[in-house]
Amino acid sequence: MHVLRGREQAGTTDERRTEMTSGHAFFETPIGRCAVAWSNRGVQALQLPDETDEKTLAGLRKRVPVSMERAPSKDAKKAIAFVTGLLSGNKTPFPFPKLDLEDIPEYNIYVYNTLRSVPVGTTVSYGELASRTGKPRAARAVGRIVGLNPVPLLIPCHRVIGADGHLHGFSAPGGVVTKRRILDLEGTQVPKTPALSGGNTKNPNKAFTDRKHPVGTAMAVRFLKSRDPVMKALIERTGPCGLAVDGMTSLFETLLEAIVYQQLTGKAAATIFGRVTDLFRPKKVIEPLDILRASDEELRSAGLSGPKIAAIRDLAEKAAAGELPTVAEIRTLDDEAIIERLTRVRGIGRWTVEMLLIFGLGRPDVLSSGDYGLRKGYAVLYNSGRLPSPREFAAAGERWKPWRSVASWYLWRAAEGVRLPGEKSR
């Protein structure tokens, strides 16, 4: 890996970054518009797509405070080619760009070098990665370092998963949803533990069930193809459905992490969530009473803002009072009941719960009508490029019942790497 250091130079890190920063640029990929920043010494940061270009740029500028949008440098062009090639399924590696990671500690660099040796289509656990660096007991520290990765995809932090096969967290916008999409594009078979009873444990990719009827996605695909000729053509172009359930072990911890990560770049969120976890060492699992017993000063010391402290206390209070369902209990509730109960918690909105329904609980008939990517996919396929309103999209989606979650997976594929006519920068 080409890594340039600059600690011996005079001035603060931000001053050196400002002096060396040449610019930033957006570029299209199969998962949306990414952004890259560079100096005349190499690539400094890469940001995965957020909801808008403005949010993507804000995330980039957490790493590189000052830059101007301009034509990519030679190294930035290499980074763009490397990332787009990777996400397009190209098995031939593109030339790797030079990186300017001057403020990264030496051990972090060693972890990143080691991580770069993990091949496309494979994964490694945090513990195994720590062992490869010669520090087998440093899995927790390695996890934090992976979360601080300034150049995702160039350094493939998405290939690190839990020892139990679960994806766990991901510090980029979209969290594990984004992580799963990237691994899917790489053709990676990730072992998963089905979250729901009645699933097909021999093939976890088909453990896509609701609370009453164990089913595989093949049934859903057959239904959609018979009902909708446009969807049929999309399915035949795209291939088998890669939607899979990533089971939860603790609803409280899942929502706690979701709140901490909101409105932050992945790097900042991973750091803060690591500090929150550290408050309760040597415990491995954070419980509601841990949050309630912690003082505001302790929580602020971890980097949590006042509103987020209030939100996680609200979550902990509801969990301690029995108002938050257990994972077992939540499986007995219908979708709207789950949305109604979980959105009572500060910081948890409808979209967050809808993603949990699809990817955490495997509910087959969820259509997130406010999701931009889904509406964009619909615009591309059905609406001559015109983005439908959430209400229009919800009405159109009635045709895919009772398999709207599977239809959603294909609509996300349809939206990848496409710009709508007259679409504003996102």
Q: Which residues are catalytic?
A: 371
Strand 42-47, strand 124-125: pairing: unpaired
Tokens at residue 172, please?
């980029």
What token pair was written down for 300?
């602020």
DSSP 135: -
380: tokens are: 């591309």
Q: How far, in Å, CA of 338 to CA of 330, rounded?
A: 7
DSSP result, 311-370: HHHHHHHHHHTT-SPPHHHHTTS-HHHHHHHHTTSTT--HHHHHHIIIIIT--SS---TT
For residue 39, which of 70, 62, 11 has the smallest C-alpha distance?
70
β partners of residue 161: 125
Distance CA 142, CA 145 (A): 5
C-alpha–C-alpha distance, residues 387 and 393, integer Å: 9
Q: Say how far apart CA 148 and CA 157 lie, in whole Å.
A: 9
Altogether, the residues listed in the chain come to a count of 426
Nearest to 125 by CA among 278, 113, 280, 114: 114
User: In 60-172, which ranges are E strands?
Assistant: 124-125, 160-161
203/85 Cα distance (integer angstroms): 29
Pairing of strands 21-29, 42-47: unpaired
Question: In 114-147, which positions are buried (b, 16+ CB within 10 angstroms) versus exposed (e)?
Answer: bbeebebeebbbbbbbbbbbeeeebbbbbbbbbb
Strands of the sheet with 32-39, listed across from one edge = 21-29, 32-39, 42-47
What gap in Å lies between CA 150 and CA 100, rounded to an integer?
10
Identify the three-state secondary structure at position 81. helix
**Token pair recorded at residue 400:** 């895919």
